[in-house]
Amino acid sequence: MSPPKFADFSRIVFFTGAGLSSESGIPTYRGSGGIWKEYNYEDYACQRAFERDPEKVWDFHDKRRAAVAACEPNDGHRLIAVIQRAKPGTTIITQNIDGLHARAGGVDVIELHGSLWRVRCDRERTIRDDTSVPMASRKCTCGAYLRPDIVWFEDALSVDNLRRAERALERADLIVSIGTSGVVYPAADLPRIAVQAGAVSVEINLEDTPVSNLYQHRLRGKASDLLKSMA
């Protein structure tokens, strides 16, 4: 079965994960070389860790900000942005926190798991962009520690983001899942909304995942190559 072509669709949803950014040099989370192999998330990526030792958590995130800032979007990010420009009904939903979709020209990106490049003050209930590397200040002007505006383990997803994602998925005519292991919920289950609404479905990954059965087309290989094969 040859892969579907973007030209035949107008309401495309790209649902992306760390595999898309791996070709930019950003490590994935799972598998060999994965971030959660080297770091225990309970010490670096949950609210409890932050409350216990904010400096340690910030050291980890500052290091990640520096690593991501040194990377560039790849052909996959760029192709997705080109398709979005050509087809305004296109939506990008990502689990990535690296900001590479926007740097490649993607717009209105739904960042399900937040962003490395936003910080928030939970005391003042404020959120702002911060792209400084290293972080100019880890504290808010009120004196409280800022925290990355990231959905850490055990955090809830933004209801607003979930609604936006669901609306796009309900009306999609093509859903393309790219480079995600499909093990983190509720994100992993979102593409099902598009499938149940009748969208043509494609999974792009190096290997099978626990959610592969959901997809009509299972394309195996590098994300950028396989996206090009659909163009």
DSSP, res 103: H
d(CA 50, CA 59): 11
DSSP track, 138-181: SB-TTSSBPEEEE--BTPPPPHHHHHHHHHHHHT-SEEEEES--
d(CA 35, CA 26): 10
Q: Which of 90, 91, 201, 209 binds ligand OAD (CB under 6 A)?
A: 209
186 closest CA partner among 117, 48, 93, 84 = 93
Q: Is 113 a catalytic residue?
A: yes
Residues 64-123 that bind ligand OAD (CB under 6 A): 95, 97, 113
Q: Which of 92, 222, 227, 230 binds ligand OAD (CB under 6 A)?
A: 222
Residues 2-31 that bind ligand OAD (CB under 6 A): 17-19, 22-23, 28-31
Return the residue nearest ligand OAD (CB atom).
19
CB of residue 37 to ligand OAD, shortest distance in Å? 10
Q: Annotated catalytic sites, by residue?
A: 113
Contact residues for ligand OAD, defined by CB under 6 A? 17-19, 22-23, 28-31, 34, 95, 97, 113, 150-151, 179-181, 184, 204-207, 209, 222-223
